[in-house]
Every structure is written in structure tokens, then in C-alpha cells.
Structure 1
């Protein structure tokens, strides 16, 4: 579920402007870099004075970093499906003929990065978007689009839409957890108010003649609003877990909450609660056919189940290892399924036979905001995208896209294999990109949802993964993967009541210590119990915390840390862009400053770099009291906090310029570009990020 990271599309300086900008005043010369091996060259520290020859373009691009056809909202009108792309800016809606299974038209809304919500009323298609919580109308007859309402603050989401029998459209939103009503015949818009105190998300919605029903996150309440008076009642005295889907049919209300299917009457009586099949983490799509038969889709297997009494019967699994966005009965025995990675399938319910169409093959695709990046010696660059890993070989001009189940928040190359930590499943994958083989190493689980960082200790062949809980949780974890043995050990709540946002290794000889960075907001949607984020020192030999300190009072969320020569550098999410340096022996903060935004840190040749949202790279140390711009104007092509994938023996790193794969010259004595400007779209994105 896309809570924290709205898509970071934006306007900024173009690459041509970056290349043409005269270099800024030179930074204070850094210390002589430590040797890195390899041949000396104009970009290698072994090259002496020639190593800092500021020649050539500071940014070289190699085409789209990651191509996607990922989708979010889906609805059907007549013989066409309308699917909303994820990460295409402004929001892209595709019209697909259900008979020919071809893309017939596309529509561009006037703003936004995508839309989780879609419904139909009066021959019109309605789409609810983010990072502006707008309701848009698409008129297939005229081919026009209209923004008709904004139903919350910038940075919010319209998560769900439904249409009542009389054509009234209802929307569920975040971060205020409200239900809104729109009457197409009069244009009247009404806020029915928050569904339940403390629940920031209305994640599922349904309506009948009398009520509109709202399913909430993170706890999972089912609330019925009287459509005339607006009065509301809680139909779930005890929450069942976060809502995924709701529908009203035949005088009953059906809902997927956590691992349960709820079946109850509109007044909350005669309720049944069924547990979804074993092996499924959740069920994420729900439909009721004309004869009243209930169907659900499980995740991660992608299996379609039919409810038979109080049991579930397997029908088919048209799209395994994926998230389902919709399950829609068509005419006869046909069922339409929509898959988050960008697939539609048609299922014959009587036979279980299914046909699948890849949206990327029929033209509904575009550049993906990048999730993660890693460089492999020999010139290969791996880029993580939505449900994909793309392997680029820039010298050959080739790339290859491999489907993987989810979002790879962090990737590392070890021994020629790519290791990926996946959201939202917490699955750890080993990927042989050359052979296109993907192997599961297991799951972090333990109340975790979002991997946040990864480090590798070669002495022990040990991967360390930090993670955050889902919405409604505070307790993050540190996970250790013994790569050669395949053993996973999870230390949950290692920093009490904080997510673990980053992990860095002590770089001094003989120190088998990992440093962890916390976030008091946890997974969001729950009050923090602490006021300042912590750094914790974790003894890898004993599996215990040696000490914990809050380096900066008033900063509730750290984003990333790195260690260089016994000094820990950190950057904060709250307050956004605050950075600091801390001596690990004394735990004293020796330097602080402010960057335009936050991102990730890295170390190369004895220098500490920060790559931040908006498209700028700064040098933070060592021995600096003010950050120095190294490269600006890359625009914003990242979905997660921006990363750098360094070449081993040069001042070059691989990253993203707009949404193109880019090789970046980051020689601190050759600064280039200017700080990126901030668009209104980008401001909305940041507000959404900081709302959770």
C-alpha cells in the first residue's frame, strides 16, 4: 500500500541547463582520497592532479531507468476498462477495449501522479488522485476531463470511490480519514466527516440506498453513515485489521479486513466473520456476482477463491505473486482482474481458464519513479522499479527487465547476484539477473512492512536490513541475513517504539558494531511515544544494544546514516533536511546544518555525500560546518529517498536525472549546477511524505 511515498514527479532544471551552467565556486579542497585500486585516470584518485580535471559533461544519460505499466484505480464502463497508471505525471488514464483487449485511448488529467480510486456514474468515469486529493471526471463521449473537486489538503489521497444506486459518488480519503459526497446532477459536494477517531485512512467504501460504508486503516473499523442525515454508527465494536475492500449487495455488506471476510447486514446484525485461506497474508480484492456468490483474491498467491458457505474454494490463480487492484464480474461467467504490476486477466469462472494481457505490451507504459539502484563491477547497473528489476549495460546500449513481486526498496550486488528487500511483503530475494532467476530467501515478517536500508559486512557474509512497521505500528526491526547459510534473524523493537530507518557499519578495525537510526513516527497513524529519534549501537557478536542516544532534540525522524573514520553522519526527515555529524566515541554532535530536503548518504574516497529529494547532491564532510553543493539540477525521478551507486575507483556514481539512468560526476573539486527549484507538485509530495 502506497502510504508514505507519494510519487516524486516534478518540475526542475533540465539536464541541458545543468550541463550548460558554469561551475559554482570551488569547494574547500577535500583531503587526499584514500587509494581505491584500479588504473589511474582523469576520474580516478590515483591520477593525482589529473584526477580533478573538470572536463566533459557532469551528467550523461542513458535513457529510461525503469519502464512501468503499474496501475492503481480500475473501473469498467460498458465494454471498456478504465485503468489509472501509477507514477505517470500528470495522471494517465487508459481506456482498454474488453473485446479486442487493446488500448484504445488515453486521457491526461491536469495534475497528480496517479489515482487509487475509480468509479462510474451516469456514463462518466470518476477518478480520485494524489498527491492532490482531487476528484476528476472523464467523459468518454467527448474525450474531455474535468477536475471537479479537491477533498483534502495537498499531500493527501483519495483512496476509494463508489457510486450509490441513485448515482451519488462517495470518496474515502487520507490523511484525515474522511468520507465525501458528490452529487453529479447538482454538483453539490459535502464532507460527511472523519469515519473514526484516530483512523487516518478511509481505505474502502461502498454504498446502498440508505448508507455509505467506510472501511478504515490502520485498525480496521466499518462505519455506516446515514446518507440523508450524515449520522454514523460503528458496525465493528472490535477492529478486524486494516480495510482492503468493501461492497454492498443484496441487502448485505461484505468487507475484507486484515485476514477476515466480514458479511453482515446494514445494521450490523447477523454478522459472520470468515478467515481467509492459510498461506494468504491478506485478501485485497472482492466481488459479488449477480447470483450473490462472493469471490476474493488472496495475496501473495494471487489465487481467486469462491465462497461456498463458510469455506473458500480455489478457482484459479491467473496472476501469482502480485497485488490485485480490482475484481469485476463481466457478462456470463467471465471475471476481470486487474493486477498492480500492470496486467489484466479474463477468467472463466466455470472452467478456471484465464487469459492475461500485459499493459506494457499494449502501450500503457511510461518512465517509472525509481525505487533503488546498484552498480555491479564490469559496468552493469541494476535499477529497482515497481514490480521490476531492470539490468542496464550502458556500454552495450542494452537493458533487460525482470518481473519481481513488489517494490525493491533496497538492492545490493554481492558475488554477482542482486539482493533485494521487498515492500510490502518484506520478502528477501536473490536475483541472478543474467539468467533471469529469482529465488526467495524468506520473509522478515515480525510486524514489519517496509524495508528501509541495507548494509553488507563481507567479513561475515552478513546482510543487515532495517525496516519499519505498517500504519498503526511503532516497532521497527533490524534483520540479519547470513547469506551463505540462508538464516534470517530478526531483532524487533531494537530501538523501542521506533522504526529502524537506516543501518551503517563501524569502519574502524576490529569493530563489529552496527549503528541504527530511528523514527519515532513508526509506520504512521499512531501517536509517537518519544520526542526525538535515536541512534543505537548494536553489537553484532552478542546481538544486543550497547547504547542509545538522541543526537538532536526536536528531530523526530532520522532518514539515513553513514559512518566514516569513527564519525557518524545523519540526515533527518523531521526536521526535513537537518544533517549532523557525531563523534562515535564521545557521542558529541560536532556539526549540524540544513539541506533543502532529505535523502540518503554515501561515502566515497573519504568524502560523505548526501543525495536529496529535488535532485541535488551535497558534500557533508569530513570537517565541514556547511554543506557544499557538488551537483544540482537533476530534477526528481525518485520514488524513495534518492540513492547513489558508486563506481569503485572513480568520482562517478550512477543515479537518476529526471527519470533517466544517469552517470554523475561527483568530484568535489568540480561542482556543477545550481540547487533545484521546488514546484507546487513537489511541495504537495513533501507534505504527503511528512503526513506519515
Structure 2
């Protein structure tokens, strides 16, 4: 861990960038489910039954305070002539931007028809092609006319076009998720056809390349390379054994070269003469790869962001133009420089000979826009902290200000302790401590241990440590519980604490003197792998002895728990699979006392002796204590969450902070101030939610 701290010393102090003041408080009168009035405004029956509540139930239930978090994060990227073309993520519909490579200026933007972003981009015949998600559409953009054409949809709702490439004759090829297929588009005929699944059991064609004869598909999670004969459609794996999940691939100089797992693989088109080059120990994978005119191969490692040059069977570091960033693409330019696109929304130009580089921040351009929220927490002195793609924004609503601080990943979880903010990042698993007043950041370390996605975080005040739940990458099952000591900046990781399950959520026992944590599991692990357990379980974990005390499945056959909370000896939970199933379980007898269904799933919180569920679909319910049926509290909040919706409560109050649409919002959640109308609540598309959360 000390070695990693040294490698990431660049994260020690991060200069804050200001995105501008938040808007003055506005009365966002979101409508109730039937479209008749403000959510949370008491109906006639409620008013008659709640004498004395008129004062606290008056006024709007939702007040908004401007955009919660901005992003210019990018996914797809390609180059045509003197321009780079990048696709924003998290903006609905996606935004395609054109950047002049000579000046570094954004010269044009255009909206696609639908979706949240586009991981895939390529060029053919002077046209730019983009593949999108969570509806896997294929688009063509004509730079000469500025027109956009939707060419077709190549998979079900909730799918991705993960990668695109162009063969020497101009034919365009795409790789998809979740069906792991390769598709072909002929610009000359306009015909779009499915070439079939690359490898049974592999959900992702994550990387793709083509030469005169073959199109090559790199799969994930195992990492096969499958060669399709472009003339006959016949296919075969050219990997004697899987190399690890594919990340990038190219076909050049009669070789196929790509990043697979912790290796760069170089082999002949028939799979022979394979050379496997281990990546440097500091890296987890190779994000992007390219070759120059003289055949020199360059690649970018994650998490350090270092550019490497291949020298024989070694990778030699060149420079790190944007340290600690993910990378979407890497291109050689005619002047000998390399052009890279970083996931946070940075473009960089690198001289590989001298190591000098320049960078453009897209957050300062018209590529910036409202970001789906990753996480939220209350801070000191009325501050509200919001996690977005590669950023944490500190809002001070009373002063009408906000401050955006870049971080190296997605803060899936945010919590506060004293005057500090703590973030658990995806995909690096780094745990950060932020001083919001100074904008400075220091690292507590990395969870690592084959983990990727932090899923929950709880502060244990008695020991001044955080408990962090996490899930592994795709193709793995074993999650972890991590204990993060604030003062010592030390992480202790307990992997596979729930056998062959992700740890999705955790809750502390609220009985005095009992140091027990309850952990909720997910049999799907990181996804794209067959579960070995029939049901998601809950375990009781003794924090003193560091051991599991017991394990129970509240409902047999239900695969995934999303979130749990504990109140007065009763554990409340909500399932992701079966979506929206909730329950209350007595911890002494481990029997389910009550259960029911919500329209979807999300996160639970306890406030003033009540248990609340905030779920996808813009809905908040009360589910306990003592309720046989969930009580609707608030509706109409929209789809502003990237992760399962959260609430950040004000102390000793019925008000919580969340989002309405993509605006920061203060929500009145008083159980006595409820609309009794339950009509018009439509569950969200679970396939779309599944795909976005797997992104």
C-alpha cells in the first residue's frame, strides 16, 4: 500500500475548480403521481387526520438549488482529419463534440436522438460512427453537413455498443453487451447484419479490430479472441486459453495486439506465435492501445494513466499526461505526437520523444452538462456534498455557492466525519479524505483484493473507522468488507466474507455496546458469471473478533439484496432481484415479520425512528416500523440518479437532501405530510437500470 501511495502522490493536493454559483432556491413543484398538485402536499383525508400539522405541511415539498453536479466525462472518441470527436456520458440524449486539434478548441456539438452516452466511435469514408447505450443504436455523423442519421438498433433495451472499428475497405464492425455479439454495417449498401455471438457465456465483446480478412472480437470477462472470416462469417477462437478480460485491441502489421487482463497479448491472425507481455505491477489493465506508422506500439495503463512504449517484450514508461485517469482512446498524429482522451473529460497531446504534453479540459467548454448523481452526504455548517463522474461538488445552499473538486474516479459512496468528507471510488477502489474548505485531498489507500465497485459505506463513531462494502469486477463472485481507520490511514480487507457473493450493503447494530455489523449479499457478484449460491444472504459479522456469527436468507431464491438498515432490533432490507421486494426481519429470531413490494429498488435510511426507502422512479416511501404496507411519502423526483437513489438527512429534521431531476433538492419527508394518491407510479425499465449500474 505504501508503494501505491507513492505512485499516487499526485493526488495529494487537487486544485479546486469552480463551476459557478448554484441557483437561488426555487420552488420546484414536482407533481404527484396523478398529476394533481405537489408531492407530499396533504390531501383531504390526510389534512383531516392531521390536525396541528398544517404549519409544517405548508409550502412546497421540494425546493431546488441548481444543478447538483456537472460533467464533461467522455466515453467514445475517434479522429477524422484535423478534428477529434468525443461523446459525453451521463447526458441525455448524448452529446457529440468536435475539437479542432490545431487549436484545442471545441468547434461544434450535436445531440444524438436518445441514450445516456456512446462508448464506441470510429471513422469510415469521411463519416463519424457512434454506438450508444442503454439503447444500443448505431449513428452516422456527416461533418460536412452536420447531419446525424440513426442507422439501426443492434440489441435489446439495456444494451451497449461497446466498441466499433473499421476494416480497410470501410466496413464498420461493432461489439455488444449483454449478448456478446459482433455486428457488421456496410456503408456502401446500408445493410446492418448480426454475425452472431462471439463466445457462449461471454456477455461482452469489449474490444474489436479488423484487417482485410478477419474481424477480431475480444471478450470479457474471460478474455477470448475470436476471429470472424469477413467473407464467409465462419468464426473460431484463436486463444488456446483465455488471457483475461479484453480492454483494447488492434490489428496492424499482420499481427493482433491488445490489452487482456494484466497482459499485452501479441499474436498472429491464426493465434500462433503468441507473445504475452506482463503489464507493470502498478497497473491493473491497459485502457487504450495504438501503433504508429513505423510499427511502434504505445498503450496507456490504469490506474496510473502512464503511457508506455513497447520495447521488445517490455513496456517502457514514457509519461503520464493525465495521472490517475481512465483512458478511452489513443491515436498517433501526423506530426509524431500522440493524442489521448481521458474519461474525466480531458484531451492531451504528448511528444513521445521528449515527454512534454499539453491538456484541454472539456469541463470548461460547452461539452459540460448536468451529471447523474453518484452519491450525496450532509457536511458541516449546512454544506451538501455531491459525487459525480470524476468530481465531488460542495454546495453551500445558504450562501448560494458551489465548488467542484476533481477526483480520480466515480465517488460511489460519500460520508462525513468531523469536518472531512470521505469517498470510496470506482473503479480504483481508492478511499479519499477531502477537506472541503481547502479543496485538498489525501488518500487512505486502495481496497484492491480483486474488488472494483464500492457499494455502501458506514461510519462507526466509537472506533473512528469506516466500514465499506464492495463488489468484484465482472466475472468474479467474491466481494469484501473493508475497515478503514481514519487516523492511521489503514485499510483492513476481509474478502469473501459472504461466500461467493458481493457485499452490497451493511448496517451497524443499534443496540448499546453491540459491535455487530450486518452485511447483505448479491449472488451475481460482479456480473457476467454464473452464481454458485441459490439465494442472497445476510450475515452477522462480529467487529471485535472479525468473524461471521450467523448467516440467513430472508427469502429463498431471491438473488440480490440491494440495501439494509437496522432499527430497534429489526433489520429492514430491499431486494434488487426480485426488484423492489422489501422486508422487516427480527434479528433475535431471524424471522421475517413483514414484507411487501415497491415499484423498484434503491437505498434505505433511518431518521427519527422511521425507516425510509428512496427508489428508482423518483419515489420515497416509509416502510417501518410496524407497517404492513409501504407508505408513499413523495413522488415525481425524476431520474437524476446514476446509482441507487440516496437521501442525506438534516439532523433531527424531516428534511433530507437529494435530487429532483438533476438539480440539488431539499425534500420534505414528514410522514404526516403525505399525498394519499398512489396512482401513476410506473416501475422503471429494470434492464436499463441493470446496464447502467454495470457501466
Q: Mark yes or no: TM-score above 0.5.
A: yes
Q: Once the two structures are superposed, what CA deviation does each residue of 1:320-375 show, in whole Å capped at 9, x if it has no partner? A: 01000000111121111000000000112222111000001122110000000000
The answer to whether 1:588 aligns with 2:602 is: no
Whether the aligned pair in 2 keeps the contact of 1:24 and 1:671 (CA below 8 Å) is yes
CA distance in structure 1 between the aligned counterparts of 2:209 and 2:683, rounded to whole angstroms = 33
Q: Once the two structures are superposed, what CA deviation does each residue of 1:80-100 show, in whole Å capped at 9, x if it has no partner? A: 111000001011111111112
2:11 match: none
Whether the aligned pair in 1 keeps the contact of 2:337 and 2:351 (CA below 8 Å) is yes
Aligned length, in residue pairs: 663
The answer to whether 1:552 aligns with 2:555 is: yes
2:322 match: 319
The counterpart of 1:23, out of the listed 42, 61, 68, is 42
The answer to whether 1:246 aligns with 2:249 is: yes
Report deviation, 1:20: 3.8
CA distance in structure 1 between the aligned counterparts of 2:104 and 2:677, rounded to whole angstroms = 47
Whether the aligned pair in 2 keeps the contact of 1:175 and 1:691 (CA below 8 Å) is no
The counterpart of 1:354, out of the listed 326, 336, 357, is 357
The answer to whether 1:610 aligns with 2:629 is: no
Whether the aligned pair in 1 keeps the contact of 2:616 and 2:684 (CA below 8 Å) is no
SS of alignment partner, residue 441 of structure 2: strand
Whether the aligned pair in 2 keeps the contact of 1:154 and 1:687 (CA below 8 Å) is no
Q: Once the two structures are superposed, what CA deviation does each residue of 1:413-471 show, in whole Å capped at 9, x if it has no partner? A: 00111111111111111111111111111111111111100111111112100111111
CA distance in structure 2 between the aligned counterparts of 1:23 and 1:345, rounded to whole angstroms = 54
Q: 1:116 to 1:676 in 2, by over 3 A?
A: farther
- Alignment RMSD: 2.0
Report deviation, 1:25: 6.3
SS of alignment partner, residue 360 of structure 1: helix
Write out aligned runs for 1:306-345 (5 A): 306-345=309-348
2:197 match: 194
2:174 match: 171
Whether the aligned pair in 1 keeps the contact of 2:78 and 2:122 (CA below 8 Å) is yes
Report deviation, 1:29: 12
2:370 match: 367
CA distance in structure 1 between the aligned counterparts of 2:306 and 2:76, rounded to whole angstroms = 20
CA distance in structure 2 between the aligned counterparts of 1:626 and 1:112, rounded to whole angstroms = 35
1:524 match: 527
Q: Once the two structures are superposed, what CA deviation does each residue of 1:492-515 show, in whole Å capped at 9, x if it has no partner? A: 111111111000000011211000
Write out aligned runs for 1:365-404 (5 A): 365-404=368-407
CA distance in structure 2 between the aligned counterparts of 1:29 and 1:547, rounded to whole angstroms = 47
Is there any run of 5+ residues in structure 1 with no aligned partner, and where?
1-13, 32-47
The answer to whether 1:418 aligns with 2:449 is: no
Is there any run of 5+ residues in structure 2 with no aligned partner, and where?
1-27
SS of alignment partner, residue 463 of structure 2: coil
Q: Once the two structures are superposed, what CA deviation does each residue of 1:177-200 show, in whole Å capped at 9, x if it has no partner? A: 111111111111221111112111
The counterpart of 1:90, out of the listed 74, 89, 93, is 93
Whether the aligned pair in 2 keeps the contact of 1:64 and 1:367 (CA below 8 Å) is yes
1:256 match: 259
Report deviation, 1:486: 2.2
The answer to whether 1:182 aligns with 2:185 is: yes
Q: Once the two structures are superposed, what CA deviation does each residue of 1:219-260 show, in whole Å capped at 9, x if it has no partner? A: 111111111111112111111111110011111111111111
1:10 match: none
The answer to whether 1:131 aligns with 2:145 is: no
Deviates more, 1:187-196 or 1:64-73: 187-196
Q: 1:28 to 1:470 in 2, by over 3 A?
A: farther
Report deviation, 1:51: 9.4
The answer to whether 1:543 aligns with 2:580 is: no
Whether the aligned pair in 1 keeps the contact of 2:99 and 2:107 (CA below 8 Å) is yes
Report deviation, 1:118: 0.2
Q: 1:540 to 1:608 in 2, by over 3 A?
A: same
CA distance in structure 2 between the aligned counterparts of 1:519 and 1:547, rounded to whole angstroms = 17
Q: 1:544 to 1:681 in 2, by over 3 A?
A: closer
The answer to whether 1:505 aligns with 2:508 is: yes
The answer to whether 1:427 aligns with 2:430 is: yes
Whether the aligned pair in 1 keeps the contact of 2:159 and 2:176 (CA below 8 Å) is yes
CA distance in structure 1 between the aligned counterparts of 2:350 and 2:70, rounded to whole angstroms = 27
The answer to whether 1:155 aligns with 2:158 is: yes
Whether the aligned pair in 2 keeps the contact of 1:614 and 1:677 (CA below 8 Å) is no
2:271 match: 268
CA distance in structure 2 between the aligned counterparts of 1:246 and 1:217, rounded to whole angstroms = 13
Whether the aligned pair in 1 keeps the contact of 2:29 and 2:60 (CA below 8 Å) is no
Report deviation, 1:143: 1.1
SS of alignment partner, residue 529 of structure 1: coil
The counterpart of 1:628, out of the listed 623, 627, 631, is 631
The counterpart of 2:231, out of the listed 228, 234, 241, is 228
1:36 match: none
SS of alignment partner, residue 630 of structure 1: strand
Whether the aligned pair in 2 keeps the contact of 1:376 and 1:416 (CA below 8 Å) is yes
2:60 match: 57
Write out aligned runs for 1:63-78 (5 A): 63-78=66-81
CA distance in structure 2 between the aligned counterparts of 1:648 and 1:564, rounded to whole angstroms = 17
SS of alignment partner, residue 31 of structure 2: helix
